[in-house]
A and B are shown apart, each in its own frame.
Chain A
Amino acid sequence: MSIDPRRMSRRQILKTLAAVGAVSASSSLWLPRARAADKLVVGVIYVGPKDDYGYSQAQAQAAAAIKKMPGVTVVEQEKVAETTDVQKVMASMIEQDGATLVFPTSFGYFDPHMLKMAEKYPNVRFAHCGGLWTEGKHPKNTASYFGYIDECQYLNGVVAGFATKSKKLGFIAAKPIPQVLRNINAFTLGAQSIKPDITTQVIFTGDWLLPVKEAEAANSLIDQGIDVITMHVDSPKVVVETCERRGIHVCGYHADQSALAPKSYLTGAEWNWLTPYNTHVKDAMSGAPLKNFLRGGLKEGFVKTSAYGKAVPEAARRKADGIKAQMMKGEFVIFKGELKDNAGKVVVPAGTAHKQTDVWLEQMNWLVAGVIGKV
């Protein structure tokens, strides 16, 4: 039978179109598939680019490490907004790639996005970065992991205390929220443990990723005579590069930025997400129940410090290593009395010590004496 298109009836044309549609719909049969029956598929979702020298890179480093584990396939997606987009990405990883363990790594992915997907896919494990999981309130197939990175910011402060000549430090921060304030206070307390009259000037940029504002902030701090800067923004790249160019010292955050500032980099506060990733991947492979709340500091291996830069003097290394050793033993308390805020009010009375696990620290809404800035 020959087909003459001029003679085809409307019905025949519709039939042909339907056949073409069916063939394309079955394209899943011949496409490469990430799913494999005997492999654990792990989905990792980042809010920024994987190579941002910051928040997302710290997560991507852990993902790259678990990728090498036998029996594990990792699927990744970067620059996913904290909107329904991330819900769709989680669902796509589960439905299209067969993921059974998902790491939505940005703070804003938790509520409502991850909680909704956890309800929809009760057999999938969700592990979120940020410490929000609460017993009885959140589903059992969801989990939180987080680290006490203020320990490393304290050590940053100790090293900065040795490095500064002007006794004026700078801190470029995104938003005045408890996590950030805790880092600013720990950094300042660390520096003041070396030279008690050190001040820290804070600039809040207003958002997590504003490279132009961050560069302006760094330049204006340096113009004021500040000679060591650290930060809490998603991508510290531009701040670190500005410090290197202007010839002042810098302490890193999130990931190792020493490659960006070989002369200026002192040390840095880094996440070590491989610890929680390892736990969750191993549990998923063995079928062990999901550990809903994982948290730790230097001692537990959730955070680490960058190797000291060339500019760090021997005395500073010895002092910082000494405090680090105490932290590794769990004997060091950062927030202990008496502490006053920068308006003169006593916030931690003498004789009181707030250990890392104390939830009181999670509601921090003050800046310690010596910090110049307002919440």
Chain B
Amino acid sequence: MDAAVTLPARQAAARDRSFDRIRAAAEALVIPIGALAAAMVIFGVFVLVIGKDPLEVYALIWKGGFASNFAWQNTLQRAAPLILTALCVAIPAQAGLVVIGAEGALVLGGLAAAVLGHALSGGSPLAVKLGMALAAMIIGGAWVAVAGALRHYRGVNETISSLLLTYIAIALFNHFVEGPLRDPASLNKPSTMPIGEANMVGLLPGMDVHWGLVYGLVFCTVCYVLVRHTVQGFALRIVGGNVRAARLAGLPVGALILASCFVGGAAAGLAGMLEVAAVHGSANASLIAGYGYAGILVAFIARQNPLAVIPVALLVGGINASGGMLQRRLDLPDATVLVLQGIAFMAILSAETLYGRWRAFQPRGS
């Protein structure tokens, strides 16, 4: 008798739950997209003020970043390093840390890859590539873990220390590239010894984008699963939510903080390895291109979600790709796209406060 009553009730509850889930997903989509739309309108006013047609500017952004096969490849190529450096911010963020030192991990990872790639050149290319990737990830991970350790053991603010560590990393990088590790043949552009054509990471089949894009996508997916669907990931998020509660519950807070920093740094180190192995063929000052800092923007817009990093990196990559179009067609300065990025960043961060405000998106329950 009871069963006859509860079965439809259970079904109804399950239906409500799935509706709740759709409502939550809709909220997570509508708010950032609305914020972006608002940012575009504000940006349009700026464009009007300098006497250009906002519609033409929007059309050029669309055309330069997304409207053709060529534009998409341009966007994807620019997004690839940002995906990895954004993870360097997003993963430690799960433990409640604000780490902004991806640039340092990137350049040192790149340097490690270049040194190892040259030392091993002559070996089987696959092994050399694997060795370069591992070396870059270990060095990059260890570098960011230093900031995590300073935070955990000495109470040093990790945001400041990771930023200062970046300056040290760049100084070390320049010292080695221009000093002990310099290829004597690199006269006016000091570089390390080349890793050799055979050890280069190639392009994706049929595309003008290197394999780094795929590495980034895989890294994001793995991180997402680790953070959202494992016990350790759950523990990490508890540390991020309330570190005292995590301690009381007996969680290994120090190990979790260090591990999250290491994984984040490894992602940035891998980005450095790709710059060396897929683009430059050696380590030189061109590695210091600001990808580490751009990753901060991406991670924050993605609200530190490892999967959301991917579309956001594409968006930022697309805006960067179209920046050239704005310069070439409309003679707008390079700073135009920086203004757009800045407005978008502010709009999305301000929109954070809107979560949970609209009834339509809230769980109904039963």
CA distance A81 to B60 in the complex (A): 21
8 Å CB contact of B327 from A77, A85, A176: A77
With CB as the reference atom, state the residue of chain A lying closest to B320.
A85
CA distance A144 to B83 in the complex (A): 36
List, in ascending order, chain B residues with CB within 8 A of A206's CB.
171, 174
Asked if B279 contacts A108 (CB within 8 A), the reply is no
What are the interface flags for B196-224 relative to A under an 8 Å C-beta threshold, 1 for contact and 0 otherwise?
00000000000010100000000000000
Asked if B281 contacts A96 (CB within 8 A), the reply is no
8 Å CB contact of B189 from A32, A78, A108: A108
What are the interface flags for A82-106 relative to B under an 8 Å C-beta threshold, 1 for contact and 0 otherwise?
1111001101110111000000000
Nearest-CB distance from A97 to chain B (Å)? 6
A197 interface hit (Cβ, 8 Å): no
Asked if A175 contacts B289 (CB within 8 A), the reply is no
B328 interface hit (Cβ, 8 Å): yes
Asked if B327 contacts A76 (CB within 8 A), the reply is yes
List, in ascending order, chain B residues with CB within 8 A of A207's CB.
174, 285
List, in ascending order, chain B residues with CB within 8 A of A91's CB.
70, 74, 208
A-B contact count (CB 8 A): 103
Q: Which of B61-69, B94-102, B303-311, B358-366 contacts A (4 or more CB under 8 A)?
A: B61-69
B333 interface hit (Cβ, 8 Å): yes
Asked if A76 contacts B328 (CB within 8 A), the reply is yes
A321 interface hit (Cβ, 8 Å): no
B56 interface hit (Cβ, 8 Å): yes
With CB as the reference atom, state the residue of chain A lying closest to B77.
A84
Nearest-CB distance from A68 to chain B (Å)? 15
Nearest-CB distance from B77 to chain A (Å)? 5
Asked if B324 contacts A175 (CB within 8 A), the reply is no
Asked if B62 contacts A81 (CB within 8 A), the reply is no
Nearest-CB distance from A229 to chain B (Å)? 23
List, in ascending order, chain A residues with CB within 8 A of B56's CB.
31-32
CA distance A36 to B270 in the complex (A): 43
B346 interface hit (Cβ, 8 Å): no
Q: Which of A12-20, A22-30, A272-280 contacts B (4 or more CB under 8 A)?
A: A22-30
**Count of interface residues, chain B, beta-carbon cutoff 8 Å:** 40
A91-B70, A175-B178, A206-B174 known; A81 vs B289 contact (CB < 8 Å): yes
With CB as the reference atom, state the residue of chain A lying closest to B334.
A79
Nearest-CB distance from B199 to chain A (Å)? 14
CA distance A89 to B77 in the complex (A): 12
Asked if B67 contacts A27 (CB within 8 A), the reply is yes
Asked if B63 contacts A27 (CB within 8 A), the reply is yes
The size bracket of the interface on A is 35 or more
8 Å CB contact of A83 from B74, B286, B325: B286
Asked if A25 contacts B327 (CB within 8 A), the reply is no
Asked if B329 contacts A32 (CB within 8 A), the reply is yes
Asked if A78 contacts B70 (CB within 8 A), the reply is no
Asked if A88 contacts B74 (CB within 8 A), the reply is yes
CA distance A177 to B59 in the complex (A): 44
B151 interface hit (Cβ, 8 Å): no
List, in ascending order, chain B residues with CB within 8 A of A93's CB.
328
B188 interface hit (Cβ, 8 Å): yes
Asked if B77 contacts A27 (CB within 8 A), the reply is no
Nearest-CB distance from A57 to chain B (Å)? 14
CA distance A75 to B290 in the complex (A): 25
Asked if B325 contacts A96 (CB within 8 A), the reply is yes
Residues of chain B in range 260-287 having any CB-CB distance to chain A below 8 Å: 275, 279-281, 284-286
CA distance A40 to B56 in the complex (A): 24
List, in ascending order, chain A residues with CB within 8 A of B140's CB.
none
A24-B62, A177-B188 known; A83 vs B67 contact (CB < 8 Å): no
Nearest-CB distance from A258 to chain B (Å)? 24
8 A-B Cβ contacts within 8 A? A32-B56, A49-B334, A77-B324, A88-B78, A107-B189, A176-B178, A177-B188, A362-B187
Which residue numbers of B lie inside 8 Å of A, CB to CB?
Answer: 56, 59-60, 62-64, 67-68, 70, 74, 77-78, 171, 174, 178, 187-190, 208, 210, 275, 279-281, 284-286, 289-290, 320-321, 324-325, 327-329, 331, 333-334
Known: A31-B56, A88-B78. 15 other contacts (CB 8 A): A24-B67, A27-B67, A32-B329, A34-B328, A76-B327, A77-B324, A77-B334, A78-B333, A79-B334, A92-B321, A112-B281, A177-B188, A177-B190, A206-B171, A207-B285
- Nearest first, the 9 A-B pairs at minimum CB distance are A75-B328, A82-B286, A79-B334, A81-B289, A177-B188, A88-B74, A77-B327, A83-B289, A78-B334
Which residue numbers of A lie inside 8 Å of B, CB to CB?
Answer: 24-25, 27-28, 31-32, 34, 43, 49, 75-85, 88-89, 91-93, 95-97, 107-108, 112, 130, 175-179, 206-207, 362-363
